Structure 1
Amino acid sequence: MLKKSFVFCLFLLAITTACNKKETLYKVVKVKDGDTIELLSPDHQNITVRLAEIDAPEKSQAFGQAAKQFTADLCFGKMVKLIGNTKDRYGRTVATIELENGTNVNYEIVKNGYAWQYLAYSHNNVELAGLEQNARESKLGLWHDLNPTPPWSFRRDEKTQRLNKPKVQSTKPKRHYRKRRKKLPEAVSF
């Protein structure tokens, strides 16, 4: 009987702990671009987050500033949940962000036409594909453009241009500097 009571108490304690466990909330302190934000953790650490499964236009690209503004309007200064914690090659956390009310920030950006589903990193996400298709058909955000350039193509083209750009030789004459000789201290005589 004592053993059953003890097990029952442990079970109740486990359920109570699980129900009372609060999810960690982070504050959005910076929006770098349409799909990259900076969070402040409860222990005051800055975390750069690349939003998973989506790709927004680059800042220098058409609709890049609009995507950044939409993301800022949606979540800047708000408390959010961080879902996922993988790292990309730049050391950023790749994750889904949810507002306290349950709104999926990643999905909202695509739904409103400010990002593509990033097919290279979003495998079989039918819901996200549907949100993008609806935005395309409704000509929302970047879909106003007849033929918008996906960010991965834009980045590739930018890189190709940088690599193919001929290096320009400087027309300034090279300056030659003479090495100064150090003066030796004069000998002291006794």
Structure 2
Amino acid sequence: MNPHPIGRIGSHHSRRVGTSRARWACVLLAGLTLTGCSTLASPTPDQEVDGGEVDAAVVRVIDGDTIAVEPSSALPATSEDGAEHVVRVLGIDAPEMHYTDDTEPDCGAQEATDYLDELLVPGAAVTLVHDSEADEIDRYGRTLAYVELETAGDVGELLVANGYAAAWHPQGEPEPDRFSAYQESMAEARAAGAGSWEHCTP
């Protein structure tokens, strides 16, 4: 069983994005459902984000480590109806909700989703911060970034420090800049029995 009691680690794999970026695969979302893929057009120059920050507005929370924001020139729509762009919070992994099957949500999944829902209400202004080492886009076309709120700071750090997510990055991929800090926060949260660490077991 997973050594992290509050989640199934390994929910996404990423690929390096460069000037020769491959054509994106679309994400057809119903909740967190990836129901099928077709090829999207390659991003135009104004859609390339080479590091730095991108401002966005929250559309909805999908689960404890994934949100949707309003599309823009830097964040092309990933939904079939063009209404949202999906962002995977970098450096963490929250328990799975299992929207796509009959499996019950993992222990702590609903709590993580509810906590993030309280932080990121629809319309909330966030800043997506890219990492110097990690990929900016995953194979599903989702942005991989730290999510920051002006009033609350680093959302990923808050999730980990409060026991709703674990520090994580894909095996074999570069370690994100904030990963060590997230690991320290996770160790403290686990020792204190914070959030889902209190009742979810390995």
User: TM class, shorter-chain normalised?
Assistant: 0.5 to 0.7
Q: Deviations over 1:43-90 (max 9, x none)?
A: 695210000010000011111111000011011221100112711122
Is the 8 Å Cα contact of residues 53 and 122 (structure 1) preserved in structure 2?
no
Q: Deviations over 1:134-181 (max 9, x none)?
A: 110110111013623xxxxxxxxxxxxxxxxxxxxxxxxxxxxxxxxx
Is the 8 Å Cα contact of residues 25 and 42 (structure 1) preserved in structure 2?
no
Q: Give 1:25's match in structure 2, choosing from 40, 51, 55.
A: 55
Following the alignment from structure 2 to structure 1, what is the Cα–Cα distance between the partners of residues 71 and 151?
19
Following the alignment from structure 2 to structure 1, what is the Cα–Cα distance between the partners of residues 110 and 62?
10
Matches within 5 A, 1:109-188: 109-120=159-170, 123=175, 125-145=179-199, 147-148=201-202
Name the structure 2 match of 1:104. Answer: 154
Q: Could you say what the CA RMSD is over the residues aligned between the two structures, in angstroms? A: 2.3
Name the structure 1 match of 2:114. Answer: 69
Cα deviation for residue 132 of structure 1 reads: 0.3
> Given the superposition, is the C-alpha separation of residues 86 and 73 from structure 1 closer, same or farther in structure 2, using an over 3 Å criterion?
same
Q: Deviations over 1:4-48 (max 9, x none)?
A: xxxxxxxxxxxxxxxxxxx75311111010000001146695210
Cα deviation for residue 106 of structure 1 reads: 0.9
The gaps in structure 1 that reach 5 residues or longer are 1-22, 149-190
Following the alignment from structure 1 to structure 2, what is the Cα–Cα distance between the partners of residues 118 and 145?
20
Name the structure 2 match of 1:82. Answer: 128
Q: Give 2:87's match in structure 1, choosing from 49, 56, 62.
A: 49
Give the letter for the 2:67 counterpart: I
> Given the superposition, is the C-alpha separation of residues 93 and 146 from structure 1 closer, same or farther in structure 2, using an over 3 Å criterion?
closer
Give the letter for the 1:81 counterpart: T
The gaps in structure 2 that reach 5 residues or longer are 1-52, 78-83, 98-104
In the alignment of these two chains, the number of paired residues is 126
Following the alignment from structure 1 to structure 2, what is the Cα–Cα distance between the partners of residues 131 and 33?
20
Identity fraction in percent? 33
Q: Which has the higher contact order (CA 8 A, sep 6+)?
A: 2
